[in-house]
Structures are given as C-alpha cells and as structure tokens.
C-alpha cells in the first residue's frame, strides 16, 4: 500500500530519492514466511520504514543528497539499518535531504527540493524534509532521520509529524555519513508519539562500533509513551525560547499545549537559560569546523564522483580532487567547509573554535541548572510554520534562524522531541511543540508527548 501511495503522490511530493520496491516486498515476504513457520517476530516485523539518504544501506544507493556521492552503493549497513532489518522491517527506500544534512528546507539537495504535503509550494523543513514528508503524505508509516541542529524536529514541526532526537550516544552513529560528529544523532520520524517510541527502541542501544555509544540499557521509552502520565511532573518553559520572534499562531498553540499539561496534573515553572541566545553562533562555528574535517574524505579517489579538470593533460591527484569538489559540492556545503577551515586555522582557532567550545559548556551548564528545577523543558519547535519554497534561499542567516530552539539540545547532547500542537491561525499550517529532557532520560519526552496527543 505504501509503495502504491508513493507511485501515486511522490511525483508531486518528491520525498524519495530511491524507492526499493523489490527489496521491500522481499523483506515483507520473508516476514510472512517466518510468521507461517511459527517463528517469534518483533512487534514491528513487516512494518515498512523509509531511511534518510545520509544513512548507509548495503546494496542501495546512498548519496546524502550530494552530487559527489551520485552512483555510490555502500558495501555495508549502518548499525541502525542492521537493527531495522533484524526486526523484520522492510526498507521502502531512501529519502531526500539537504546536501550532507546542511539546511532547514531540503532545498539544498542536489536532486531538487521536497515539497510539503500540506502545501506543495512550501518547504517540508530540513535537512530531513524527505523523511518527514514521506510520513506526512502516508508514503511510509515510519522513517529514520538525523538531527545535528534540528533536522528531525524542525521538519516534524512544519509537516505536522512527530520526530525525536535521542540523547547523544543513545543511537549508534556507525554508518551515518558524518556531518558534525559531536552533534549528529539519528532518530524516528512518525505520525504518533507511541510510534516514535517503538521505532526509537528498535534503533537504540549500545554499539561497540561507535566510540561515543552509551553502554547502558535503553531508556523505557515505550512504557512511558503507553502510560502518558505527567501528574506531578515539573515542566519548565524556557524564557529565551518563547515570545518575540515566534509567529503568533505558533506561540498560541504552544500556550494551549502548556495549559493542557497543567490540566493533566503537571506543574509549570519558568526557567531562564541565558546562554541559549549564543547557541546559534556557537553552533555555526563548532558544526562547520567538524564539517571541514569530515568532508575531507570526499577526495575523488575513494567514493562516487570523479571529475577530470579541463585543459590539463596529465592532472595530478590534487587537480582531480579540486575539480571534483568544485563540481560535486553545492554552495551551502562549500560555504561551511570554508567557514570551518577558517575557524580552525592557526591564529584564529582560540578566538573562534575555542570560544564556541566555551559557549557550549555554558549551554550545558544552563541545561543542568534548569533541570534542577524542571523534569523537562518545553518550547515551540520552530519559530514559524512552513515557509514558501525559495523564500529564504538568498539569505542563509534567516534559514539558520529556523533552528534557534532546536540547536541547544545538540550542543549539550540532551534528547528532544517535537510533536504537532495544532494549526496556526494565520495560515492553517502545522505548528510544533518541543520537549527536552536530561541526557539518558529520553522516556520523559514520551511521557509528556503522549499526554499531549
């Protein structure tokens, strides 16, 4: 049914870069065979899933939305893909995304933008707009995203879906094409909070292949989602992440959701996290610094595209690399490599990267202080609803502002979830409600999220 739906609507939505009908149907048949043989099956066996194209999949093209990886077919599976397959979940295909996960609109994909199913002239968020749009347009019941600064939560917010960025280290990064390794985290994109918890549980857990993987039991996310109990819970409203700069309709839906939590027995306090006002600036130094290092491996020798420079008879490896990178990377990727290389260069390192790391510490301290007073923190996920395609392309800074409320969680490694809070009055488009919890306490996201559904 999902493959039929993709055939019917994806020409307009463009959520998928690659659909693997044959592989998905074979995986579904295998589940049927095991069921008939009376073998024990996972609760999600047979439930298909779409995977963001930044996650490597054995035998399936993986481009990370970039021309430089066009035609690359990975020889191995990411750990999370191994876990999806082990649970018997057919992989429907790979979803569109901003190139190397850099963006908030999926317009920086080398393969053209994805369209928001609510209004095809609007953006589906980014970088994981493909996964969110696939779920929102019923082309997949579940999808995998990755979130470095908001790329699961902001697309969820603007497409009326649910998305979780787990605690850093909670889900293996082995086999994710790294954007910024100290910030990246994969997580679920779904239509309900319970679905997100179920998928979270499948992909989470210790992995010796990821040196930052947490060696501890997976938080009881499914149990929390089923109980949906917030009585006695302290909910902290982050003063710096509400009010001015937030679209009135988004703010109004947020206020109503908070009232709903009070009615359900939660206690609400206001907390202040003054360093959050510097989160965006710190992120745009830490992230590009890591990007400039991580993307050095695309050297025209090891993967994908190779472009020979014009007019040179016997080009050196360096000339081939320069020609390939010039043709293979898009403008946003180049912008960030240049920013990162500059921030890390000798003489500037302390002033830029060093200062950003100190701000990062202050943000973690702000979280720690806030979580003394509150069990979870809440805010609107994104300051606005989905904007029209093209509206922010000429102004990178206004694009970056989309993640003002989501970035602090990545910098501190804490988990966050976005769920729909309703439709904004001005434009009738979905608004998102963000919940943040202390590191390793991901179950609290689901307790609060499920109470709001």
Least distance in angstroms from the C-beta of 82 to ligand GLN: 22
* Residues between 38 and 97 with contacts to ligand GLN, criterion CB under 6 A: none
Q: Which positions from 281 to 320 touch ligand GLN by CB under 6 A, shown as an x/- string?
A: ------x---------------------------------
* Residues between 151 and 170 with contacts to ligand GLN, criterion CB under 6 A: 151
Least distance in angstroms from the C-beta of 369 to ligand GLN: 25
383 is a site residue for ligand GLN (CB under 6 A): no
**Helix orientation angle between 443-452 and 248-263, rounded to the nearest 10 degrees:** 100
- Rounded CA-CA distance 262/271 in Å is 16
132 is a site residue for ligand GLN (CB under 6 A): no
Nearer to ligand GLN, 145 or 205 (CB): 145
Q: How many residues bind ligand GLN (CB under 6 A)?
A: 13
User: Measured between alpha carbons, how far is residue 443 from residues 82, 198, 416, 449 in Å?
Assistant: 24, 12, 11, 10
Give the CA dihedral 99, 400, 211, 340, nearest 10 degrees. 80
148 is a site residue for ligand GLN (CB under 6 A): yes
Nearer to ligand GLN, 36 or 397 (CB): 397
Least distance in angstroms from the C-beta of 172 to ligand GLN: 17
Got the DSSP string for 120-160?
TTB---SSSHHHHHHHHTTS-SEEEEE-SSSTTHHHHHHHT
Tokens of 282: 């710190």
Nearest CA among 8, 48, 53 for reference residue 28: 48
Tokens of 168: 């850093």
Tokens of 351: 């002033």
Nearer to ligand GLN, 127 or 213 (CB): 127
333 is a site residue for ligand GLN (CB under 6 A): no
Nearer to ligand GLN, 120 or 401 (CB): 401
Interface with ligand GLN by CB under 6 A: which range of 143-151, 168-176, 188-196, 303-311? 143-151
Interface with ligand GLN by CB under 6 A: which range of 10-18, 147-155, 366-374, 436-444? 147-155
Q: Which positions from 179 to 198 touch ligand GLN by CB under 6 A, shown as an x/- string?
A: x-------------------
> What's the DSSP call for residue 401?
G
Do the Cβ atoms of 105 and 125 come closer than 8 Å?
A: yes
| Position among 101, 110, 221, 363 found at the interface with ligand GLN (CB under 6 A) | 101
Three-state secondary-structure class, residue 336: helix
102 is a site residue for ligand GLN (CB under 6 A): yes
Give the CA dihedral 13, 15, 18, 19, nearest 10 degrees. -80
Please, how many CA atoms are within 13 Å of residue 208, restricted to the half-sphere of its CB? 0
Nearer to ligand GLN, 135 or 257 (CB): 135
Do the Cβ atoms of 99 and 126 come closer than 8 Å?
A: no
Interface with ligand GLN by CB under 6 A: which range of 8-16, 149-157, 228-236, 438-446? 149-157
Q: Catalytic residue positions?
A: 52, 127, 151
Give residue 407's Cα distance to chain centre: 11
| Position among 48, 74, 90, 149 found at the interface with ligand GLN (CB under 6 A) | 149
Q: What are phi and psi of 73, to 5 degrees?
A: -120, 110
Nearer to ligand GLN, 52 or 253 (CB): 52
Least distance in angstroms from the C-beta of 174 to ligand GLN: 18
Do the Cβ atoms of 304 and 68 come closer than 8 Å?
A: yes
Interface with ligand GLN by CB under 6 A: which range of 36-44, 146-154, 205-213, 255-263? 146-154
Tokens of 14: 């463009």
| Position among 20, 53, 147, 443 found at the interface with ligand GLN (CB under 6 A) | 147
Nearer to ligand GLN, 123 or 179 (CB): 179
Counting Cβ atoms within 10 Å, is residue 316 exposed (0-12), middle (13-18) or buried (19+)?
A: exposed
Nearer to ligand GLN, 147 or 375 (CB): 147
Tokens of 271: 């907390």
Least distance in angstroms from the C-beta of 151 to ligand GLN: 3
Least distance in angstroms from the C-beta of 122 to ligand GLN: 16
**Helix orientation angle between 279-294 and 331-344, rounded to the nearest 10 degrees:** 100
Interface with ligand GLN by CB under 6 A: which range of 10-18, 30-38, 145-153, 313-321? 145-153
Residues near ligand GLN (CB under 6 A)? 101-104, 127, 147-151, 179, 287, 403
């Amino acid at each position: 049914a999902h493959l039929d739906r993709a055939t019917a609507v994806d020409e307009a939505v463009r959520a998928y870069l690659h659909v693997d009908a044959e592989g998905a149907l074979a995986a579904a048949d295998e589940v049927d065979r095991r069921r008939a043989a009376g073998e024990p099956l996972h609760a999600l066996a047979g439930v298909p899933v779409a995977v963001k194209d930044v996650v490597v999949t054995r035998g399936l093209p993986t481009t990370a939305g970039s021309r430089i990886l066009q035609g690359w077919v990975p020889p191995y599976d990411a750990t999370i893909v191994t876990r999806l397959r082990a649970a018997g979940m057919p992989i429907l295909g790979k979803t569109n995304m901003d190139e190397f996960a850099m963006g908030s609109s999926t317009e920086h994909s080398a393969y053209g933008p994805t369209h928001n199913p609510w209004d095809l002239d609007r953006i589906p968020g980014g970088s994981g707009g493909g996964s969110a749009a696939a779920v929102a347009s019923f082309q997949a019941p579940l999808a995998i995203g990755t979130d470095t600064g908001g790329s699961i939560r902001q697309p969820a917010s603007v497409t009326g879906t649910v998305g979780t960025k787990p605690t850093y280290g909670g889900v293996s990064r082995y086999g994710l094409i790294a954007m910024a390794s100290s910030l990246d985290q994969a997580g679920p994109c779904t239509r309900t909070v319970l679905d997100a918890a179920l998928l979270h549980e499948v992909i989470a857990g210790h992995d010796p292949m990821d040196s930052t993987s947490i060696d501890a039991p997976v938080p009881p996310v499914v149990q929390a989602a089923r109980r949906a109990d917030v009585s006695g819970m302290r909910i902290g409203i982050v003063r710096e992440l509400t009010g001015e700069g937030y679209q009135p309709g988004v703010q109004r839906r947020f206020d109503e959701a908070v009232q709903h939590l009070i009615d359900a027995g939660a206690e609400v306090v206001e907390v202040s996290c003054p360093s959050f006002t510097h989160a965006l600036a710190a992120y745009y130094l830490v992230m590009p610094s890591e990007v400039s290092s991580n993307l050095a491996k695309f050297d025209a020798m090891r993967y994908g595209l190779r472009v020979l420079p014009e007019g040179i008879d016997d080009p050196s490896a360096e000339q081939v690399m320069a020609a390939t990178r010039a043709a293979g990377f898009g403008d946003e990727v180049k912008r960030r490599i240049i920013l990162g290389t500059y921030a890390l260069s000798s003489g500037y390192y302390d002033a830029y990267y060093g200062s950003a790391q100190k701000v990062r510490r202050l943000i973690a301290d702000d979280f720690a202080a806030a979580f003394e007073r509150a069990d979870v923190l809440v805010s609107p996920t994104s300051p606005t609803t989905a904007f029209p395609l093209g509206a922010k392309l000429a102004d990178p800074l206004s694009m970056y502002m989309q993640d003002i409320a989501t970035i602090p969680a990545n910098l501190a490694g804490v988990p966050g979830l976005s769920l729909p809070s309703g439709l904004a009055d001005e434009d009738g488009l979905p608004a998102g409600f963000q919940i943040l919890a202390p590191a390793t306490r991901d179950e609290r996201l689901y307790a609060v999220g499920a109470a709001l559904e």
